[in-house]
Chain A
């Protein structure tokens, strides 16, 4: 799961509810640690703004293996 920074208002609800403690705050906005997230969707069901959304789990890895 990843959080859309434009949608997130920084209420912190998902931060405390995340069972993996995978979410933290940078600059008053929530950020999900992609290596700790288990895609349990707790943040999706707790967000008033619809900010968390599914996207590729390991974008950096995918980019890394792209053909040169």
Chain B
């Protein structure tokens, strides 16, 4: 049986980039994915290019049909279209808003792009590497460290088998089967909640906030009174016309009270919700879904000769750009390791230093921003009536956004104290909101 240098399980942005980096360095790579069409995206992914400097310890820009990683000094081609987003709009149940604009007058808060096009571009490069073998409709279900390398267990429609290599890469996403098989979820990670997600891609939406990242805040947007809704314009099939919007909902799973499916909630939101008028003419051109587990990140994304990259190691997710960046770093580290015997630690060290949620403070910060979701709808309506005209500047970025929101609300604290002292007290307690409360795990 052929023995590979590197077996990469999962061909999303992290796996493709790891395979590409290792393969172009001359290593024999096996790349596996359970999908038949690797570059196609069936999962919800409302991710934009996060342009705030320092995100994941990197500064990412889009220029010359490529996504540029300044600090790591590499670029990946992106031949699709982009939509620079001019503002981030948070909408309360009654329609009041908190708007965050770019740092400068012509600045953007993020750049909307098409993940599928990026995967196509990366996959094209992978296919050009003769040292990379690709197997589709093959799922990695487990991995074991062996004295001279690793053994990866595979399953296909035809049955199970295994393949050996020197290094395995778990790039199989947020619900990683490989991480699970190593026992790391039980021993190293704290589990918060499971979310199920669905999204629609729609044409002919009458959106009053064009070129915006829109977050619908509060419980009143859904029939089941829980869940988080996001919407933003997305390039589609390489163009920006006609305008396509992606509307996504995530709902925490409460086994005892399953409530409505995300798809049912999307249907409700677009036909009967407060903003149904935006969707009167809309046509659904694509439906996607996902299932997310919220864990604390892996403390060490290495286990023997298994390297964990991308969402598989993260707190829900790294941004797509983070998956590409960590894939690049992992590929580089594996090249060094197989040449010299050391090097994987370089990747682990970079992961620990740059992935924000490895810092408990960051989880706290994010939680305090999510604190919005423990406010009652009428509180949010009231608070957003105060912020409607505010000139707020910032980015779409889950790490800095909670701080921006908190700062904006706190700038009205005096007025809130006078008009709604109870709410002011609640606001000041934002810092005490637990992650569980914020994720509404205990709410039914």
| A66 vs B411: C-alpha distance when bound (angstroms) | 74
Q: Within A35-68, which residues are at the interface with B (CB < 8 Å)?
A: 44-50
| A65 vs B294: C-alpha distance when bound (angstroms) | 46
A48 near B155 with CB under 8 A, answer no
| A28 vs B34: C-alpha distance when bound (angstroms) | 8
Encoded as 1 (CB less than 8 Å from any A CB) or 0, chain B from 123 to 140 comes to 000000000000001010
Contacts of B137 in A (CB 8 A): 24-26
Contacts A24-B139, A26-B137 given: A11-B194 contact, CB under 8 Å? no
Closest B residue by C-beta to A43? B291
Contacts A25-B35, A48-B261 given: A31-B157 contact, CB under 8 Å? yes
Contacts A28-B42, A49-B261 given: A13-B175 contact, CB under 8 Å? yes
Contacts A46-B253, A48-B289, A49-B287 given: A11-B155 contact, CB under 8 Å? no
| A21 vs B160: C-alpha distance when bound (angstroms) | 11
B255 interface residue, CB < 8 Å from A? yes
How many A-B pairs have beta carbons closer than 8 Å: the answer is 95
Contacts A46-B291, A49-B287 given: A12-B155 contact, CB under 8 Å? no
Interface size on B, residues (CB 8 A): 38
B73 interface residue, CB < 8 Å from A? no
State how many angstroms separate the Cβ of A60 from the closest Cβ of chain B. 16
Closest B residue by C-beta to A44? B258
B381 interface residue, CB < 8 Å from A? no
Contacts of B261 in A (CB 8 A): 47-50
A48 near B262 with CB under 8 A, answer yes
B88 interface residue, CB < 8 Å from A? no
| A49 vs B44: C-alpha distance when bound (angstroms) | 12
- The 8 Å CB contact of A16, one of B176, B198, B264, is B176
State how many angstroms separate the Cβ of B400 from the closest Cβ of chain A. 28
B197 interface residue, CB < 8 Å from A? yes
B287 near A9 with CB under 8 A, answer yes
| A14 vs B253: C-alpha distance when bound (angstroms) | 14
Contacts of B36 in A (CB 8 A): 25, 27-28
In the complex, which of the residues B139, B175, B258, B289 has the most CB atoms of chain A within 10 Å of its own CB atom? B289
A46 near B194 with CB under 8 A, answer yes
State how many angstroms separate the Cβ of A7 from the closest Cβ of chain B. 8
Encoded as 1 (CB less than 8 Å from any A CB) or 0, chain B from 419 to 438 comes to 00000000000000000000
A9 near B42 with CB under 8 A, answer yes
A16 near B177 with CB under 8 A, answer yes
Contacts of A9 in B (CB 8 A): 42, 287-289
Contacts A21-B141, A45-B255 given: A50-B264 contact, CB under 8 Å? yes
B173 interface residue, CB < 8 Å from A? yes
State how many angstroms separate the Cβ of B6 from the closest Cβ of chain A. 21
State how many angstroms separate the Cβ of A18 from the closest Cβ of chain B. 9
B243 interface residue, CB < 8 Å from A? no
B139 near A49 with CB under 8 A, answer no
B186 interface residue, CB < 8 Å from A? no
Q: Within B335-394, which residues are at the interface with A (CB < 8 Å)?
A: none
| A15 vs B253: C-alpha distance when bound (angstroms) | 17
In the complex, which of the residues A11, A14, A48 has the most CB atoms of chain B within 10 Å of its own CB atom? A48
| A11 vs B42: C-alpha distance when bound (angstroms) | 5
B106 interface residue, CB < 8 Å from A? no
B94 interface residue, CB < 8 Å from A? no
Contacts A45-B196, A49-B287 given: A25-B141 contact, CB under 8 Å? no
State how many angstroms separate the Cβ of B265 from the closest Cβ of chain A. 10
B241 interface residue, CB < 8 Å from A? no
- The 8 Å CB contact of B34, one of A24, A46, A50, is A24
B291 near A13 with CB under 8 A, answer yes
Closest A residue by C-beta to B33? A25
- The 8 Å CB contact of A48, one of B173, B175, B291, is B291
20 contacts between A and B (CB under 8 A): A11-B44, A11-B289, A11-B290, A12-B34, A12-B173, A13-B289, A16-B173, A16-B176, A21-B177, A24-B157, A25-B34, A26-B137, A28-B36, A31-B157, A44-B258, A45-B253, A45-B258, A46-B196, A46-B291, A50-B261
Beyond A24-B137, A25-B34, A45-B196, 10 additional contacts (C-beta under 8 Å) are A11-B43, A11-B288, A12-B173, A13-B43, A17-B293, A25-B139, A28-B36, A46-B194, A47-B196, A48-B197
Which of A's residues lie within 8 Å of B, judged by CB?
Answer: 9-17, 21, 24-28, 31, 44-50
8 A-B pairs with the lowest CB-CB distances in the bound complex, closest first: A13-B291, A48-B289, A48-B198, A10-B42, A16-B175, A46-B291, A50-B261, A48-B262
